[in-house]
Amino acid sequence: MAEFDFDLFVIGAGSGGVRAGRMAAAMGVKVGMAEDRYMGGTCVNVGCVPKKLFVYGSHYHEDFENAAGYGWNVQANGFDWPTLRDNKTKEIERLNGIYRNMLKNAGVNLIEGRARITGPNSVEVSGQEYSAERILIATGGWPFVPEFEGSEHAITSNEVFYLDEFPKRALVVGGGYIAVEFAGIFAGLGAETSLIYRGDMFLRGFDEEVRRFTAEEVAKKNVNLRFNNNISKIEKQSDGSLLAYMTDGTVLEADTILYATGRVPNVTDLGLETVNVEQQKNGAIVVNDNFETSEPSVYAIGDVIDRVQLTPVALAEGMALVRNLFGGQDQKVDYDLIATAVFCQPNIGTVGLSEEQAREQYSNVDVYKSSFRAMKHTLSGSDEKTFMKMLVDRDTDKVLGIHMVGADAGEIIQGMAVALKAGATKAVFDSTIGIHPTSAEEFVTMREPAK
């Protein structure tokens, strides 16, 4: 008789947990997995997948306008929110089924319900206790809304994908990528939109020039940017609309107020008090490079450890953990040069160091940059601009960072990330022949550093 019910019990069927569970099961490991919400976690259900679908949907009004310059007489008869919302939901449900079948086909024992750790080698789900040699926590993150008068009237990214009615007036609060993306979505779909951020510029941590260029472009797309401001109180009126009392003394009226003010590790009611698992002040689970907690039988990966909150990072962490535990390997996740994108409008793509970081770490930095109106818009009439930037260590010629604001920036920067990971120098870029005419070719035709 086996000593434990499972060799590995995974709490959370998000990106990292599913990848780890499937890989382990494929190696012959007996895997149990518990999920109490939805298959695929945040990314599939209330994160990157539905958000990107909404971004696509919100951009069509611009496409219709731009088509006129190319001879197309396109008349939009209005936007139907239920169609977008419900088609998105059907796609998410399809993906939920795929995740469920993948786990089943891999041999993972999926248990639906809230899992709570009851000891170093035990987990309870819906009144049933299971023993496990190892427990993996992969519960992800959760939206954070500060408490203030009327904060219960605000929504988060958990609810925004399922609104009964699309708002005529929307306020988005926050300065991170989720806030900037949803401000573009609301505005693109026709809502009168304001983005409220308590700081003087959104997207803290990104290259300063990229932040300011993005702000100019976002403002062109009917997003009212209200920096150095915040909401002190929300009051619900009899007709269901909301009054937002601002710290600058003004009052804004809205139908929907979305708070995108950060995410915190999802560790509530997880039973961590029953084991010796060290946590940070924000609840994040502390792990070493092998994703081991201070409790030898308990591991954690993904957003719950609050290292880099990106789906591909959670996948990489899950794969490394399983290869090390059950494959006899000693693999470490390399967090250097992780490319990322912000699907605001226009998009941001970035990899490597910002100019500020580069100048802190290197004594001689050359900056190459270009700002231009993309070829598409020479006929469309749009005044949208594209911005590109490359940072180079003059002493070694190594490329330290690449940044782009413009159409399909994420698609372009993904390829650039491979080049930087391979250690490409500026000379390598200069010797590469570009694809013409494209925006991407600009990265191999930048010849002189900016003054």
- Helices 48-67 and 81-106, packing angle to 10 deg: 140
* pLDDT, tens digit, 9 for 90 and up, residues 94-151: 999 999 999 999 999 999 999 999 999 999 999 999 999 999 999 999 999 999 999 9
Same fold, 6-143+264-326 and 151-261: yes
CA 393/CA 120 separation, integer angstroms: 49
DSSP state of 238: T
Which sequence spans correspond to the domains of the chain? Answer: 6-143+264-326, 151-261, 340-444
3-class state of residue 185 by DSSP: helix
Question: Would you report the helix, strand and coil content of the chain in percent, each value rounded to 5?
Answer: 35, 25, 40
Among 3.50.50.60, 3.30.1600.10, 3.30.460.10, 3.90.226.30, name the CATH number for the domain at 151-261. 3.50.50.60
Q: What is the pLDDT of residue 336?
A: 97
- Measured CA angle at 149 (ends 147, 150), to 5 deg: 95
Q: Which of 332, 281, 335 is nearest to 308 (CA)?
A: 335
Which tokens sit at 177? 């990528």
Query: Considering the domain 6-143+264-326, what is its CATH architecture?
Result: 3-Layer(bba) Sandwich (3.50)
Q: Which of 171, 302, 285, 287 is nearest to 229 (CA)?
A: 171
Would you identify the CATH topology of the domain 340-444? Enolase-like; domain 1 (3.30.390)
Mean pLDDT of 150-173: 98
Range list of H helices, 143-282 = 177-188, 208-220
* pLDDT, tens digit, 9 for 90 and up, residues 228-274: 999 999 999 999 999 999 999 999 999 999 999 999 999 999 999 99
Residue type (1 letter), 281: K
**Which member of 59, 61, 153, 436 is catalytic?**
436
| Dihedral class, residue 399 (left if φ above 0, else alpha if ψ from -120 to 50, else beta) | beta
Q: Establish whether 377 is a catalytic residue.
A: no
